[in-house]
Amino acid sequence: MDLLEQYKQQNPEKFREKKPAPMADPYGREYSTLVALVMRLSSGRIKDARQASYALAVTAGVIAIAALFFFYQTLGTTIDTTKNFVPAETPVK
């Protein structure tokens, strides 16, 4: 038996694949990577996961309202294909 095989048998926990540790607050509650990103990018203004969740919810709401505004704004405009377009350089008789 080789020395490495012997070490693997004696210490199997050192050869197991390790998953990355989930993000957690001081109380042990886990939260997503997006919440951690918001907290990190806020330059210290957002201090906990609850505030980051509210900030994400408000951002999603603003984006949804803006999308609906632009959707209904373009819904009212129609393209008029009945007009005859005459380029400026074409002589009209």
Rounded Cα distance, 37 and 56, in Å: 11
Indicate whether 48 belongs to any domain.
yes
Indicate whether 60 belongs to any domain.
yes
| Beta carbons of 28 and 10 less than 8 angstroms apart | no
Indicate whether 16 belongs to any domain.
no
Q: What is the pLDDT of residues 32-49, one digit of tens each?
A: 889 989 988 999 899 888
Checking phi first, is residue 44 left (phi over 0); if not, alpha (psi -120 to 50) or beta? left
Indicate whether 46 belongs to any domain.
yes
Q: pTM to 2 decimals?
A: 0.55
- List the domain range (segments joined by +) for residue 63: 23-70
| Beta carbons of 46 and 52 less than 8 angstroms apart | yes
Indicate whether 31 belongs to any domain.
yes
> What is the 8-class DSSP label of residue 85?
P
Q: What is the pLDDT of residues 53-65, one digit of tens each?
A: 999 999 999 999 9
pLDDT band at 75 (very low <50, low <70, confident <90, very high): confident
